[in-house]
């Protein structure tokens, strides 16, 4: 059984002006997401600026999220690292905190071989009991997981159940799903490819768009599941200009700007990320108005 089906939100982390985590705002956002129909919370991923968090903050944010969500929808914790030992530590702590699943990015910078990726993920999976999603995002990590590697991990390691695919390479994803014969739970990591991924047997999306449009993103998936592919595709296409604006600068710069434009007061970014360029912010606001969320 998949960890979740539908639209999981790759949640931002709200900060106070002094850079500390704004837990009061985080609780408010979690409640808004659940009320908006989000199918899963993905916490401490790329969008959550996890790479700027200390280990203590990382674990505290996961624990807080699990406590506040309280089993209403699944919580998937980002616990990946380019150090296998560090990923094991974060993963075991996330499991202890109550996470329903883990999202593990490919090791970045040291750029493991395919054999190294298999060894890395297998070692982590052996230390926890909860299900694991691989996270394939070569544009950020410089590492490409071969389709056969993903399939082997999902087939051979009992609690590695699927992949968040953000490579954008539909041909490679198609090849992977052809090999998988049902053993890979596939999630789109790109908001502009939700319907294409669903058409290949995907379970849903891990979405940046859901931060500002949770109901609409959920409905793209639900309409597809309900058999109304035309409606799902229409909703996907309508969202493309907004999605493009949300990725006009590196994520999560635009989505935090969008949430602040909506009056959600999610605070600043942590360096090295900086505030959105004025001309891009204007384009983002125009796309939000066109989409009907501003």
Q: Active-site residue 135, yes or no?
A: yes
Pairing assessment for the beta strands 132-136 and 75-78 based on DSSP bridges: unpaired
**pLDDT category of residue 186 using cuts at 50, 70 and 90:** very high
The owner of tokens 């995907």 is: 202
- Nearest CA-CA partner of 269 in 253, 249, 285: 253
Point out which residues pair with 6 in neighbouring strands.
204
What average pLDDT is seen over the chain?
A: 98
The owner of tokens 């935090």 is: 256
Q: Active-site residue 283, yes or no?
A: no
Give the pLDDT score at 59.
Answer: 98
At 185, phi and psi to the nearest 5?
Answer: -85, 115
**pLDDT category of residue 1 using cuts at 50, 70 and 90:** confident
Structure tokens at 244: 């493009």
- What pLDDT digit, counting tens, does each position of 66-120 carry? 999 999 999 999 999 999 999 999 999 999 999 999 999 999 999 899 999 999 9
Read off the pLDDT of each residue in 139-165 and give the average, rounded to a whole number: 97
Q: Break the chain into its structural domains and give their ranges.
A: 6-228
The owner of tokens 């600026």 is: 49
* DSSP code, position 109: S
Start-to-end C-alpha separation, the chain: 37
- Nearest CA-CA partner of 47 in 293, 265, 246: 246
- What pLDDT digit, counting tens, does each position of 222-259 carry? 999 999 999 999 999 999 999 999 999 999 999 999 99
**pLDDT category of residue 207 using cuts at 50, 70 and 90:** very high
Kindly name the residue from 68, 152, 164, 203 that is annotated as catalytic: 164
Q: Which fold has domain 6-228?
A: TIM Barrel (3.20.20)
**pLDDT category of residue 276 using cuts at 50, 70 and 90:** very high
Kindly name the residue from 25, 68, 135, 187 that is annotated as catalytic: 135
pTM assigned to the model: 0.97
- Nearest CA-CA partner of 65 in 16, 102, 29: 29
């Amino acid at each position: 059984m998949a960890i979740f089906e539908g639209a999981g939100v790759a949640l931002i982390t709200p900060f106070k002006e002094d850079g500390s985590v704004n837990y009061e705002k985080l609780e408010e956002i979690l409640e808004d997401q659940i009320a908006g129909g989000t199918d899963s919370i993905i916490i401490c991923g790329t969008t959550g600026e996890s790479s700027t968090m200390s280990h203590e903050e990382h674990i505290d944010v996961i624990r807080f999220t699990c406590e506040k969500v309280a089993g209403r929808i699944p919580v998937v914790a980002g616990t990946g690292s380019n150090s296998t030992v560090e990923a094991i530590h974060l993963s075991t702590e996330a499991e202890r905190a109550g996470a329903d699943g883990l999202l593990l990015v490919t090791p970045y910078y040291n750029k493991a071989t395919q054999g190294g990726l298999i060894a890395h993920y297998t070692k982590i999976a052996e230390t926890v009991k909860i299900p694991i999603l691989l996270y394939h995002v070569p544009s950020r990590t410089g590492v490409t997981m071969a389709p056969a590697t993903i399939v082997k991990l999902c087939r051979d390691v009992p609690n590695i159940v699927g992949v968040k695919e953000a490579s954008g390479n539909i041909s490679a994803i198609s090849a992977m799903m052809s090999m998988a014969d049902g053993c890979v739970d596939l999630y789109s990591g790109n908001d502009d490819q939700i319907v294409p991924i669903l058409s290949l047997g995907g379970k849903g999306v891990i979405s940046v768009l859901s931060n500002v449009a949770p109901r609409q993103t959920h409905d793209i998936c639900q309409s597809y599941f309900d058999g109304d592919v035309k409606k799902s595709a229409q909703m996907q296409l309508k969202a493309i200009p907004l999605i493009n604006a949300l990725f006009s600068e590196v994520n999560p710069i635009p989505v935090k700007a969008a949430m602040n434009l909506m009056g959600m007061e999610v605070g600043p970014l942590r360096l090295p990320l900086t505030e959105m360029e004025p001309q891009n912010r204007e384009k983002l606001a125009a796309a939000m108005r066109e989409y009907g969320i501003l």
